[in-house]
Structures are given as C-alpha cells and as structure tokens.
Structure 1
Amino acid sequence: MNKHLVGAAGALALVLGASAASAQTSAVIVTQPSGYVTVTPEQQVQIQRYVVQRPVTATTVLPRGFAPVAGAVMPADVELQTFSTDAAYGGFDAPSYRYVVMPDNQTVLVEPGSRRIIEVIR
C-alpha cells in the first residue's frame, strides 16, 4: 500500500508541477512590443500636465477604423507635436519623441523616425 501511496503522490506532484509551469507561461501579458520605451505613471502625469498646459490648435483627423495602440504606426498625414526641451518630464526624454492629442483627449507618444506609437496616455 505504501508503494501505491508514494506513486500517487509522485504523479500528483508531476501534474501540479506541469500545471504550475503552464500557468507561468500563460500568465505573461505583453502590453508593448519589445524594445519600446516604458513610461512610468509619474512620467505620464508630467507629460499630460505639459500637454494640457499647451493646447494644440491643429485638429487630428484619423482614418476610419484607426485605433491608437502601442506598436501601431501613426498615419503620415497626422501632424506630430514637439515637446519643449526646457520642461521637466519626470526623467522621461520627451524631446526625443513627438505626441498627438486625440479627439477624446488621449495623448499618444510617437517615435518620430518610424511614427510608431510607444504609449497611449489616458
């Protein structure tokens, strides 16, 4: 009987170990493409404060169905705004990036060379 109990315990440990391993791999959630900059919540507040204090006069018109998400490419006809070099952004190098204020007041950070969206601040 002891042999059966040890065998059952070993099988249970094997099943639980496999479940834990699969749970670890399935729990990984990627929110941004690799290689993209992460903007901390504190930096987002600083950036949003900067954007709100400097209203943009241009109207952003997006193609029908375009959704601004990290990794997407901002359409070429959308005007990108620049950050001032004399403002503080909580350690984020904002002047290296551009931004777009969306019609719903979201701020979209864009890498200027590729026009890829790096962050959407709500």
Structure 2
Amino acid sequence: MRMRLSTAAAGLLLLAGIGVAAAQDVIIEPEQETVIREYVKKQPLASVNLPGVELNIGSTLPETVELHEVPDTKYRTVVVDNRTVVVDPGTRKIIKIIE
C-alpha cells in the first residue's frame, strides 16, 4: 500500500512540474506574429554570429546582443546565424524562430 502511494505521489509531482513548464511558454498572438513578420521583411537586419549559443526556443541571448524593437509589439528581434529570432526583452529568451 505504501509503495502505491509513493508511486501516485511521484506521478502527481511529475504532472505538476509539466504544468508549471507549460505555463512558462510564451504564445505570440496571431496578429502580433503578422506584425513581426511584416516588420522583419521591411527592416532586414545584419546577422550576428554567436559561437556557443544554441538557437532554440527558451535559449537566453547574452546581454551583448543588441535587440531591435518591433513597433506595436512587446517583442524584440535579432538575426543570429542568418535566422531571425523573436525575443522576450524581459528575459532575453528566444520565444520564436522565424524561418
């Protein structure tokens, strides 16, 4: 009986952890994404090279990287290794990679 309770408790903790991780995901509204894509097309930026930084959603960009404001949104963009990334300016985390 004790083993079943431990297994159940572990399962609940695992599910709670997944819920917390999902709550941290940033979802860009479709209208905002359209604004960002249009801005990126009209305002091309030079690409920067960041050795040792993986371009994944959730990766944090160093403070040395200049982020560019996207008008009418709360997001910033930068082009890294010829890939445009959308960044949360508060955390400097990549929230979207635009191909």
TM-score, length-scaled by structure 2: 0.62
Indicate conservation of the 8 Å contact 1:74/1:110, yes or no.
no
Once the 2 structures are TM-superposed, how far is the Cα of residue 66 of structure 1 from its aligned partner?
0.8
Identity of aligned residues (%): 20
From 30, 34, 37, the counterpart of 1:52: 37
Q: Deviations over 1:17-76 (max 9, x none)?
A: 2101011223423548x9x6x5335x1x33321122122321221311212442613351
Cα distance in structure 1, aligned partners of 2:97 and 2:44: 19
1:110 aligns with 2:88: yes
> Structure 2 unaligned runs (5+)?
none
Cα distance in structure 1, aligned partners of 2:88 and 2:50: 17
Indicate conservation of the 8 Å contact 2:67/2:76, yes or no.
yes
Match in the other structure for 1:70: 58
Larger radius of gyration: 1
Match in the other structure for 1:84: 71
Q: Which has the higher strand share?
A: 2
How many residues align? The count is 92
Cα distance in structure 2, aligned partners of 1:31 and 1:118: 15
Once the 2 structures are TM-superposed, how far is the Cα of residue 110 of structure 1 from its aligned partner?
3.0
Once the 2 structures are TM-superposed, how far is the Cα of residue 104 of structure 1 from its aligned partner?
3.3
Cα distance in structure 1, aligned partners of 2:88 and 2:48: 16
Indicate conservation of the 8 Å contact 2:45/2:78, yes or no.
no
TM-score, length-scaled by structure 1: 0.53
Match in the other structure for 1:20: 8
Stretches of 4+ aligned residues off by more than 3 angstroms: 29-32
SS, match of residue 25 in structure 1: helix
Match in the other structure for 2:95: 119
